[in-house]
Amino acid sequence: MNEVDAKGERTRTVFIDGEEIRAVLSPAGALEALEETLRAGFDPEQDAPRTRVDTTTGQFLQMPSAWNGAVGTKLLTITPGNANLGAPVIQGLYALFGGPVKAPLAVLDGIELTNLRTSAVSALGARLLLGARGQDHADAPAADGGLHLVLFGTGVQAWQHILTFHNVFTLGRVTVVGRNPTAAARLAAQARSKLGLPTSVGDASAVVGADLVVCCTAARQPLFDGALVPDSGVVIAIGSHSQTSRELDDTLMARAAVIVESRDSALREAGEVVQALKSGAISGPEELHTLAEVVSGGWGRQTGRPAVFKTTGMPWEDLAVARAVVAARLSIPANGLNPGC
């Protein structure tokens, strides 16, 4: 018996762990859930901001959102000292509510949900900004041999982005760039052995020949010279979430068309955007374009300049993907979770 019936009424709250999340929803499925949410009219500018509370050992974060009858929030603890204990620095869960009485429907593993939705947001932006080059799916190899992905970072998100981009696009080759050569070599070997992707270790100069550049680091200063990115290139930066940190320099921010999840969130949390506005590399917030505008066709990329997609992570993204996971887990349509709302 399903824990949520066809009317969306709770019979039992389900727990969905990381393994089950991976089993029921592919990266491509997460991408579609995000795109469908925007096409249905959700406005990320109206999303709630994340809240942070200092704890004795780190921080406690909450990311609530509501849309189309569903309500959810992600709860995370950030405990830097966990690294010394062999435990993940970030711990968390996601609570989804819905149905006519807004009962708790499910609790999901927060870390796996975050990994999936973060890389799916990146892939959605990349697919839209690549244009025709982004339409070749991994199941239909491109005639030109596929895209060249240059990936900065060697951690969990770096690997998740390789998995997701391999699922969504035809990748011809991958170049891993990391501060730790051993970690970079390990990640490259993992991509070769598990996915069969031609993957090598490189340095920052690799962006010269990149179709896609993805930055998944904790860097506080720019990772490469923005003048090296080709006009046809798409750069995605996910690593920095504060006004004082950045992965991309002003040279690139001035050259590129800059896309963000929402202007409001970018002005709060995107160091690349905040610092580029202060320096004049971006003349004003009106120069920013949003993912929703790209999805709706309200803005389209012009040739002759790179495109930058700067993300910080937003609560609506977790809600969209969580709804898709729960719907898949319970074998009912996502809109079946929230009837009459």
Regarding whether 223 and 286 lie in a shared domain, the answer is yes
Residue 22 inside a domain? The answer is yes
- The reported pLDDT for the residue numbered 143 is 46
Q: How do 147-152 and 212-215 pair as beta strands?
A: parallel
- The reported pLDDT for the residue numbered 136 is 57
Alpha carbon distance, N-terminus to C-terminus of the chain: 24
Regarding whether 183 and 245 lie in a shared domain, the answer is yes
**pLDDT per residue over 290-312, tens digit each?**
999 999 998 988 889 999 999 99
SS3 category, 107: strand
Q: Fill in the DSSP letter of residue 4.
A: B
- The reported pLDDT for the residue numbered 109 is 97
Residue 145 inside a domain? The answer is yes
Q: 105: domain range?
A: 14-112+316-330
Regarding whether 106 and 81 lie in a shared domain, the answer is yes
254-278 burial string, b = 16+ CB within 10 Å, else e? bbbbbbbbbbbbbebbbbbbbbbbe
Looking at the structure of the chain, the number of domains it has is 2
pLDDT tens across the length of the chain (341 residues):
445 555 555 568 999 999 999 999 999 999 999 999 999 999 999 999 999 999 999 999 999 999 988 999 999 999 989 888 888 888 999 999 988 888 899 999 999 999 999 999 999 999 999 987 777 555 544 446 799 999 999 999 999 999 999 999 999 999 999 999 999 999 999 999 999 999 999 999 999 999 999 999 989 999 999 999 999 999 999 987 889 999 999 999 999 999 999 999 999 999 999 999 999 999 999 999 999 999 999 898 888 999 999 999 999 999 999 999 999 998 776 665 654 33
25 Cβ contact partners less than 8 Å away, ≥ 6 residues apart:
33, 116, 321, 324, 325, 328
Residue 8 inside a domain? The answer is no
Regarding whether 207 and 77 lie in a shared domain, the answer is no
- The reported pLDDT for the residue numbered 339 is 45
121-158 burial string, b = 16+ CB within 10 Å, else e? bbbbbbbbbbeebbebebeeebeeebbbbbbbbbeebb
Q: Whole-angstrom Cα distance, residue 48 to residue 206?
A: 38
Regarding whether 142 and 22 lie in a shared domain, the answer is no
Regarding whether 258 and 153 lie in a shared domain, the answer is yes
Regarding whether 105 and 126 lie in a shared domain, the answer is no
Retrieve residue 225's tokens: 């010279």
| pTM (predicted TM-score) | 0.91
Regarding whether 61 and 131 lie in a shared domain, the answer is no
Regarding whether 229 and 91 lie in a shared domain, the answer is no
Residue 307 inside a domain? The answer is yes
Specify the DSSP element, H or E, that contains 325.
helix 315-330
Q: Whole-angstrom Cα distance, residue 262 to residue 66?
A: 16
> Where residue 129 sits, what CATH number does that domain have?
3.40.50.720
Specify the DSSP element, H or E, that contains 157.
helix 156-168
Regarding whether 324 and 206 lie in a shared domain, the answer is no
Regarding whether 133 and 76 lie in a shared domain, the answer is no
Do 215 and 221 form a contact (C-beta atoms < 8 A)?
no
DSSP-assigned letters across all residues of 14-76: EEE-HHHHHHH--HHHHHHHHHHHHHTT--GGGSPPPEEEE-SSSEEEEEEEEETTEEEEEEE
- What phi and psi values does residue 198 have, to the nearest 5 degrees? -65, 105
With residues binned 3-state (H G I as helix, E B as strand, rest as coil), the percentages for the chain, rounded to 5, are 40, 25, 35
> Where residue 41 sits, what CATH number does that domain have?
3.30.1780.10
